[in-house]
């Protein structure tokens, strides 16, 4: 049985070394074995030394460092990226011809930009890169009209025509869906190899949507990527007002099956943000469920040290207590 790994995201920016140490000591005492830190493009401009120091303090406390390129290019989790401001011509174009301020994964300039980010990740001595919810834009809220999707830039159109022998349609046909998936597959094949060359491991987390719209209907293929070490998803049940055990179980089983097939480490995120009042205990229900199914790499996003006021739970301290109690309970089970 693999050693239990328990993680938390840490989103605080603080240049006070002692305050960082205090937070991370609290994180360690709650039973975490790793921390997901962020290095946004904004951080690389304004906080490069702070990120380095936060990672250093984390390692010094014996915690592992996962680094999240949150927002990189605007299609890895958050849409807020600096890259489009500098290189709009390397960005995606919607099917109706409108510009989308998100990097095109088929842009060589953006792949190079990602490689430079990975250089910085290696400099701050991250151990894992956490590729967080990548997805392609799809808008089916168009009231009966053809859905708008990306990317249909000149690069993508050219590559599509070479692959299929006809012009890239404006409608999202099966060829379009296949091409978009291929786009993301090729991008992650390249960037995970680049991370590997720098001594970094790769953790890929896909949205709990196995649809063509977001470019990830074939999870098997992404799990099989040679340099993906950890593969998982984040089935956030409060978002859809679901019962936690019922909601997380099928996604967890799917992840476990694929990881067993491809020899990868399975990973599941639990929802610790926007947790409604008096429902905090559901985090423990979901955590025990995924543990019983066989997951040994569990993380909570987030609360307390989390992502912005918009994602705050009704009672962040209570969420943090439930998370810590869950982690310590699971570690005691394994002893
Ligand atoms: Zn494109």
Q: What is the mean pLDDT of residues 93-103?
A: 97
Q: How confident is the model at residue 33 (pLDDT cuts 50, 70, 90)?
A: very high
pLDDT at 214: 85
Instruction: Give the Cα separation of 164 and 175 in Å (integer).
Output: 8
Instruction: Give the Cα separation of 293 and 290 in Å (integer).
Output: 5
Q: Which tens digits make up the pLDDT trace of 202-261?
A: 999 999 987 888 888 899 999 999 999 999 999 999 999 999 999 999 999 999 999 999
Ligand 1 geometric centre to CA of 102 (Å)? 10
- Sign, CA dihedral 223-303-319-280, equals negative
Ligand 1 geometric centre to CA of 132 (Å)? 20
Ligand 1 geometric centre to CA of 256 (Å)? 33
Instruction: Give the Cα separation of 329 and 150 in Å (integer).
Output: 45
pLDDT at 188: 98
Q: What is the mean pLDDT of residues 279-295?
A: 98
Specify the long-range contacts of residues 15-24, CB closer than 8 Å, at least 24 apart.
15/50, 17/53, 17/57, 20/53, 20/54, 20/57, 21/57, 21/61, 23/305, 24/54, 24/57, 24/58, 24/61, 24/63
Ligand 1 geometric centre to CA of 213 (Å)? 16
Ligand 1 geometric centre to CA of 162 (Å)? 14
pLDDT at 1: 53
Ligand 1 geometric centre to CA of 330 (Å)? 45
pLDDT at 143: 75
Ligand 1 geometric centre to CA of 63 (Å)? 39
Phi and psi angles of residue 273, each rounded to the nearest 5 degrees, phi first: -115, 155
Phi and psi angles of residue 68, each rounded to the nearest 5 degrees, phi first: -105, 120
The average confidence (pLDDT) of the chain is: 95
Ligand 1 geometric centre to CA of 295 (Å)? 36
Of residues 310 and 251, the one with the higher pLDDT is 251
Ligand 1 geometric centre to CA of 103 (Å)? 8
Instruction: Give the Cα separation of 77 and 262 in Å (integer).
Output: 25
Q: What is the mean pLDDT of residues 61-75?
A: 97
List domains and CATH numbers for the chain: 5-88+105-136+181-334 (3.20.20.80)
Ligand 1 geometric centre to CA of 214 (Å)? 15
pTM: 0.96
- Sign, CA dihedral 52-9-255-218, equals negative
Instruction: Give the Cα separation of 5 and 152 in Å (integer).
Output: 41
In the predicted structure, residue 44 carries a pLDDT above the cut 70: yes
Phi and psi angles of residue 3, each rounded to the nearest 5 degrees, phi first: -65, 140
Q: Which tens digits make up the pLDDT trace of 152-206?
A: 999 999 999 999 999 999 999 999 999 999 999 999 999 999 999 999 999 999 9
Q: Count Cβ neighbours within 10 Å for each residue of 319-330 and write b for 16 or more, e otherwise.
A: bbebbbbbbeeb
Ligand 1 geometric centre to CA of 143 (Å)? 25
Ligand 1 geometric centre to CA of 81 (Å)? 16
> Could you tell me if 65 and 37 are in contact, meaning their C-beta atoms sit under 8 angstroms apart?
yes
126 secondary structure, DSSP code: -
Q: How confident is the model at residue 335 (pLDDT cuts 50, 70, 90)?
A: low
Kind and range of the H or E element at 148?
strand 148-149
Instruction: Give the Cα separation of 149 and 213 in Å (integer).
Output: 8
Ligand 1 geometric centre to CA of 166 (Å)? 17
pLDDT at 184: 96
């Amino acid at each position: 049985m693999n050693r239990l790994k328990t993680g938390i995201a840490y989103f605080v920016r603080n240049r006070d070394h002692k305050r960082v140490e205090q937070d991370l000591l609290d994180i360690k005492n709650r039973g975490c074995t790793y921390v997901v830190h962020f290095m946004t493009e904004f951080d690389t401009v304004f906080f490069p030394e702070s990120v380095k120091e936060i990672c250093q303090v984390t390692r010094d406390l014996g915690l592992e460092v996962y680094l999240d390129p949150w927002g990189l290019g605007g299609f890895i989790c958050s849409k807020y990226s600096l890259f489009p401001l500098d290189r709009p011509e390397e960005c995606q174009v919607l099917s109706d011809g409108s510009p989308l301020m998100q990097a095109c994964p088929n842009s060589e300039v953006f792949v190079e930009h990602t490689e430079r980010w990975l250089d910085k990740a290696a400099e701050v001595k991250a151990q894992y890169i956490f590729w967080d919810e990548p997805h392609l834009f799809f808008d089916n809220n168009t009231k009966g009209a053809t859905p708008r999707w990306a990317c249909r830039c000149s690069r993508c159109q050219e590559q599509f025509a070479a692959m299929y022998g006809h012009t890239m349609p404006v409608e999202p046909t099966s060829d379009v869906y296949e091409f978009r998936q291929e786009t993301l597959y090729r991008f992650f094949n390249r960037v995970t190899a680049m991370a590997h060359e720098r001594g970094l491991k790769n953790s890929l987390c896909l949205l709990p949507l196995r649809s063509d719209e977001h470019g990830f209907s074939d999870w098997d293929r992404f799990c099989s990527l040679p340099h993906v070490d950890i593969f998982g998803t984040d089935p956030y049940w409060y978002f859809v007002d679901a019962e936690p055990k019922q909601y997380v179980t099928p996604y967890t089983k799917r992840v476990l099956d694929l990881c067993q097939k491809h020899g990868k480490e399975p990973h599941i995120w639990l929802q610790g943000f926007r947790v409604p009042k008096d429902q905090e205990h559901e985090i423990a229900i979901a955590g025990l469920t995924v543990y019983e199914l066989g997951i040994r790499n569990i993380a909570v996003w987030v609360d307390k040290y989390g992502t912005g006021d918009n994602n705050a739970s009704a009672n962040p301290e209570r969420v943090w207590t439930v998370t810590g109690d869950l982690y310590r309970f699971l570690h005691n089970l394994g002893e």
